Amino acid sequence: MTAFAKAPELEVSYWLNTDTPITLESLRGRVVVIEAFQLLCPGCVHHGLPQAMRIAETFSRDDVVVLGLHSVFEHHAAQDRRDVLEAFLHENRITFPVGADAPGLGDIPRTMTAYALRGTPSTVLIDADGHLAASHFGRPGDMQLGAEIMHLVERSPADGLAANLDEIPAAHDSGAGYCSDTGCVPGDSREDTRTTE
Amino acid sequence: MTAFAKAPELEVSYWLNTDTPITLESLRGRVVVIEAFQLLCPGCVHHGLPQAMRIAETFSRDDVVVLGLHSVFEHHAAQDRRDVLEAFLHENRITFPVGADAPGLGDIPRTMTAYALRGTPSTVLIDADGHLAASHFGRPGDMQLGAEIMHLVERSPADGLAANLDEIPAAHDSGAGYCSDTGCVPGDSREDTRTTE
Amino acid sequence: MTAFAKAPELEVSYWLNTDTPITLESLRGRVVVIEAFQLLCPGCVHHGLPQAMRIAETFSRDDVVVLGLHSVFEHHAAQDRRDVLEAFLHENRITFPVGADAPGLGDIPRTMTAYALRGTPSTVLIDADGHLAASHFGRPGDMQLGAEIMHLVERSPADGLAANLDEIPAAHDSGAGYCSDTGCVPGDSREDTRTTE
Amino acid sequence: MTAFAKAPELEVSYWLNTDTPITLESLRGRVVVIEAFQLLCPGCVHHGLPQAMRIAETFSRDDVVVLGLHSVFEHHAAQDRRDVLEAFLHENRITFPVGADAPGLGDIPRTMTAYALRGTPSTVLIDADGHLAASHFGRPGDMQLGAEIMHLVERSPADGLAANLDEIPAAHDSGAGYCSDTGCVPGDSREDTRTTE
C-alpha cells in the first residue's frame, strides 16, 4: 500500500448521524478524514474524537468531510451495540456521521483490517481523488494534522503524504491487546484475521 | 440534611472490583470518598474518575476508602449493563470498588436520590463516624479536595465541612437533563422521584 | 490594509539567535511567521512562544521561517534590556531568530505600530511574496494556524487569508493597558503614537 | 536536617508586596509555604507560581501564609533587578509577599543554600512551630500538596512529614546548571558555596 493506493471502500454495518449510507466513492472531490475509535477507548474520548471535532470546525464541509468509524476490536459484547453507540455520540456531542465498522473473521472489524490500522484512535486522511494519503495512530498534533489536511485540500493527490505511511510502526507484537495513554491496540486475533484475508 | 447528618447507607444492585458487598457501616473509622459517575458522562471520564484515582493514590487505604458509584439517570438501556460497566472499568484502569446504584421509582437511582446529588460527576465525602461532610458536583479542584479529605482524616466529625453543603447550588430547574463541561444533570423525572420517595 | 498589502519591513534594534540581521525582503519565496511577544507577558510564555516553536518544528525551514519580535509596550525599563532578553531566550529554549522591535515615539515600538498589532502575543503570517496574509492576537488554535500556514505555502498570495484581517476586533478602548489570559494590550499611548506616525 | 529541625530564618535583601519585612519568627502559629522561584524559570511561571496562588486561595490566611522567594542562582545580571521582579509580579498577578533571596558567596543565594534547595521551583512547608516539614522540588501534585498543608494545619509539628525530606533526591551531579520541564537546577558553584559555608 502506498500513498497512491486507492483507499479501500468503507465496510459498515450501519450509519448514525446521517440519513443515507456514506461511501468514499460519493465523496470524491473532497478530502475525507476518518476517525477510527471505540466508545470505551479512553484515548479516543480524551483526544481522538475531540480532535476530529476540531477538524470539522476548522475546515469547510465543501473541502473536508469528517467521518467517525466505530472499529470495535475488544469488548465486543459491550461495545457492539447500536443503542450504546447512539447514547455515546449524544453525550459526547458528536454530530458528524459515524459508521459501525463491519465485523470481521476475527476480533478485528473489516474496515480496520483493510486499512491495517494499529488500533484506536486512528486518524486516516484520504485525498480528493480517493487515495490514502496518511494514517496516524494515537495522538498526532493539531498543527501537524491541520497542515496535512490543508495540504491535501490544496494539492493534487500525486503529492500525497507518502512519508506518513512509511512512518507507521509495525503492528504491536504482543499476543494481548491493550490500551495505553496513546490508544488501544488489538491482540493476536489481528494477525489471524490478516492471514485469512 | 446538615454536615452532622448520618450519611444514608448505599443502595447498590451489585459491586465490581470487590469480592464482598460494601456498606458504609463496615467502613466506620475511615473517611469514605464516593465518586458518583455514569460511564457515558464525558465529565466523569475526563475529570471525575481520574481525580478519584488520584485520591486513592494520595491517601492511605487505612485512612481513606474511595468508592465508585455508577448512578445512571439517563440512557438506562445503554448504561445499566454489567458487561458494559465491567469493560469500562477495565479500559479506564479503575481498580477501586464500584457499586451499581439501585434503580429508583423514576430515572434517578436510589442512592443518588438519598444523597440529593445534582448529577454526575459528584464527589461525596463521609467522615470516619459516617456523617456526610461534603458533596461536590462537577469539578472541585485537587488542592481543595486534598485539603478537605485530610481535614476529615485529622479532625473529629463535629467539625465537618458544613460550609460545602451550604455552597451546593439548588438543583437545575430546566425540565430536560443535559451534559455540560461541568457534568451531567437529570431532568424533571428527578423531582417526581423525590416526591414519591 | 488588505490581504494584498505589502507587509511593512521590520524595524529592529538588534537581533538574537542569528549572525546577520534579517529583512523580510531577504526571505521572499518563503512564508514568514512573526511571533510578537514581551518576555514578561504570561500569555506569551504560556502559549504564544511554545506555539511558535511548534510551527518551527512542523514546517520545513525551506517553506516557513519563524521569527520572534520582542515588542515591548510596557515595563520598558525592565524588558528593554538585551541581557534579560538573552537569558529569557536561553531559559525558554527559543532558538529561532528574535528581533528587538525598535522604540517608537510613544510606548509602542515601531514594528508593532506598523502592523497595528493589538498586543502580545500576536502571530503575523506573511506570504511568499511578502504580503500580509493574517494577524492573530491571543490564542489561535494549532489546527487553524497549521492550516493557514500550509495554505500560504501551497497557494499564491492572491488568495491570501483576507478574512482573518477582517476578523481582527477594533483596538481595545480603555486608557490603561492590561494583561489578561488572552494576552497583553497597550494603553492610550498607542493612539498617541499612531497619530504621530 | 530532619522534620524536627528548626526552619532557618529567611535571608532576604528586600521584600515586595508587603509594607514591612517578614520573618518566620513573626509567623509562628501559622503554617508557612515558601515558593522559591526565578522569574526566568519557565517551570516557575508555568507551574510553581500558579500553584502557590492556588494554595493562597484555598487556605485561610489565618492558617496558612504563602511567601514567594526569588532565589536567583543563574543569569544574575538579568534577574537580580528589583524593577524586573516588580514588573514580573505585576504581569503574573502575584499578590503574596515576595522576598529577594540574599546573594551568597557563590551563585547560590543564602536562603536557598540554608534550605539546601535543589533548584526552582521549590515548595517548602513549615509548620506552626517553625519546623521544616517538607521540601518539594519541581511539580508536586495539587492533591498531595493540599493534603500535606492541611495535615500541618491540623497536626502538631511532632508529626511533621519527615518522609518528604527523605524522598528528596541527591543534588544533581553535573557541573552545569540547567532547566528542564521539571525546573531549573544550579551547576557546580553550588557545591563550592556549600563547602565555603
When pLDDT is cut at 50, 70 and 90, the band that residue A188 belongs to is low
pLDDT value of residue C166: 37
Task: Give pLDDT tens digits for C31-67.
Answer: 999 999 999 999 999 999 999 999 999 999 999 999 9
Q: Which of C84, C72, C16 is nearest to C41 (CA)?
A: C72
**Average of per-residue pLDDT values in chain C:** 86
Cβ atoms within 10 Å, residue D103: 15
**Average of per-residue pLDDT values in chain A:** 86
The mean pLDDT value for A73-94 works out to 95
User: A127: which 3 cell numbers?
Assistant: 485525498
- The shortest CB-CB distance from C78 to any of D41, D42, D87 is to D87
Task: Give pLDDT tens digits for D36-46.
Answer: 999 999 999 99
When pLDDT is cut at 50, 70 and 90, the band that residue A160 belongs to is very low
Whether A150 has its CB under 8 Å from any CB of chain B: the answer is no
In angstroms and rounded to an integer, the radius of gyration of the C-alpha atoms of chain C is 15
- Spatial distance between the Cα atoms of D43 and A116, rounded to a whole number of angstroms: 41
- Spatial distance between the Cα atoms of A32 and A23, rounded to a whole number of angstroms: 11
Choice among B120-134, C33-47, C159-173, C177-191 with the minimum mean pLDDT: C159-173
User: B12: which 3 cell numbers?
Assistant: 447498590
Whether B146 has its CB under 8 Å from any CB of chain D: the answer is yes
Q: Chain D residue closest to B155 (CA)?
A: D154
CB C100 within 8 A of CB C70: yes
- The shortest CB-CB distance from B150 to any of D54, D142, D151 is to D151
CB B12 within 8 A of CB B21: yes
For the entire predicted model, the pTM comes to 0.84
Q: Residue B39 in 3-state DSSP? A: coil
Helix, strand, coil percent values for chain A (each to nearest 5): 35, 20, 45
pLDDT value of residue C20: 94
Q: Which of D137, D123, D145, D191 is nearest to D168 (CA)?
A: D137
User: B189: which 3 cell numbers?
Assistant: 423525572
**pLDDT exceeds cutoff 60 at D144:** yes
Q: Chain D residue closest to C41 (CA)?
A: D91
pLDDT value of residue B175: 62
**Chain D contact set for C75 (CB, 8 A):** 87, 90-91
The single-letter DSSP state of residue B33 is E
The mean pLDDT value for C64-86 works out to 96
pLDDT value of residue A183: 80
- The shortest CB-CB distance from D144 to any of B58, B154, B155 is to B58
User: C26: which 3 cell numbers?
Assistant: 531577504
C140 contact partners, CB below 8 Å, separation of at least 6: C51, C123
pLDDT value of residue A4: 60
- The shortest CB-CB distance from D77 to any of C40, C83, C88 is to C83
pLDDT value of residue C184: 83
- Spatial distance between the Cα atoms of A135 and A2, rounded to a whole number of angstroms: 11
- Spatial distance between the Cα atoms of D20 and D32, rounded to a whole number of angstroms: 17
pLDDT value of residue D182: 75
The single-letter DSSP state of residue D64 is E
What is the bridge-based pairing of β-strands C64-70 and C31-37?
parallel
- Spatial distance between the Cα atoms of B57 and C100, rounded to a whole number of angstroms: 48
Ordered alpha helix ranges (H), chain C = 42-43, 49-58, 76-79, 82-91, 110-114, 142-154, 162-167, 189-196
Whether C42 has its CB under 8 Å from any CB of chain D: the answer is yes
User: C145: which 3 cell numbers?
Assistant: 494556524
CB B135 within 8 A of CB B122: yes
pLDDT value of residue A172: 42
Q: Which of B115, B102, B121 is nearest to B179 (CA)?
A: B121
Task: Give pLDDT tens digits for C106-146.
Answer: 999 999 999 999 999 999 999 999 999 999 999 999 999 99
**Chain D contact set for C179 (CB, 8 A):** 91
CB A190 within 8 A of CB A118: no
C41 contacts D45? CB cut-off 8 A: no
D141 contacts B58? CB cut-off 8 A: yes
pLDDT value of residue D166: 36
The backbone torsions φ and ψ at residue B120, rounded to the nearest 5 degrees and listed phi first, read -125, 145
pLDDT value of residue D88: 97
**pLDDT exceeds cutoff 90 at C91:** yes
Q: How far is C165 from chain D (nearest CA, A)?
A: 28
Choice among A115-119, A177-181, C95-99 with the minimum mean pLDDT: A177-181
The mean pLDDT value for B130-159 works out to 89
**pLDDT exceeds cutoff 90 at A104:** yes
Q: Which of A100, A130, A104 is nearest to A116 (CA)?
A: A104
CB D105 within 8 A of CB D96: no
pLDDT value of residue D173: 43
**pLDDT exceeds cutoff 90 at A65:** yes
**pLDDT exceeds cutoff 50 at C167:** no
D147 contacts B142? CB cut-off 8 A: no
**pLDDT exceeds cutoff 80 at A195:** no
**pLDDT exceeds cutoff 90 at C183:** no
CB A121 within 8 A of CB A92: no
In angstroms and rounded to an integer, the radius of gyration of the C-alpha atoms of chain D is 15
Whether B80 has its CB under 8 Å from any CB of chain A: the answer is no
B59 contacts D147? CB cut-off 8 A: yes
- Spatial distance between the Cα atoms of A79 and B84, rounded to a whole number of angstroms: 7
The mean pLDDT value for D163-178 works out to 47
Return the bridge partners of D132, or none. D126
The mean pLDDT value for C97-102 works out to 98
Q: Residue B24 in 3-state DSSP? A: coil
Chosen from D91, D93, D107, D185 to mutate, greatest number of chain C CBs within 10 A: D91
pLDDT value of residue D4: 60
CA atoms within 13 A on the CB side of C24: 23
pLDDT value of residue A181: 72
CB A47 within 8 A of CB A115: no
C146 contacts A150? CB cut-off 8 A: yes
In angstroms and rounded to an integer, the radius of gyration of the C-alpha atoms of chain A is 15
Task: Report the run of H or E that residue A133 belongs to, with start and end.
Answer: strand A132-137
Helix, strand, coil percent values for chain C (each to nearest 5): 35, 20, 45
- Spatial distance between the Cα atoms of B18 and B21, rounded to a whole number of angstroms: 7
- Spatial distance between the Cα atoms of A45 and A59, rounded to a whole number of angstroms: 21
pLDDT value of residue A175: 63
- The shortest CB-CB distance from A144 to any of C51, C58, C144 is to C58
- The shortest CB-CB distance from D91 to any of C81, C93, C179 is to C179
pLDDT value of residue C123: 98
CB pairs under 8 A between A and C: 56
Task: Give pLDDT tens digits for B9-40.
Answer: 999 999 999 999 999 999 999 999 999 999 99
**pLDDT exceeds cutoff 50 at A71:** yes
- What separation in angstroms does the CA of A149 have from each of A55, B163, C25, D130? 9, 51, 30, 59
pLDDT value of residue B183: 79
pLDDT value of residue C4: 60
Task: Give pLDDT tens digits for D12-38.
Answer: 999 999 999 999 999 999 999 999 999
Cell 449493563, residue located: B81
Percent of chain D's residues with pLDDT above 90: 76
- Spatial distance between the Cα atoms of C125 and C152, rounded to a whole number of angstroms: 9
pLDDT value of residue C187: 73
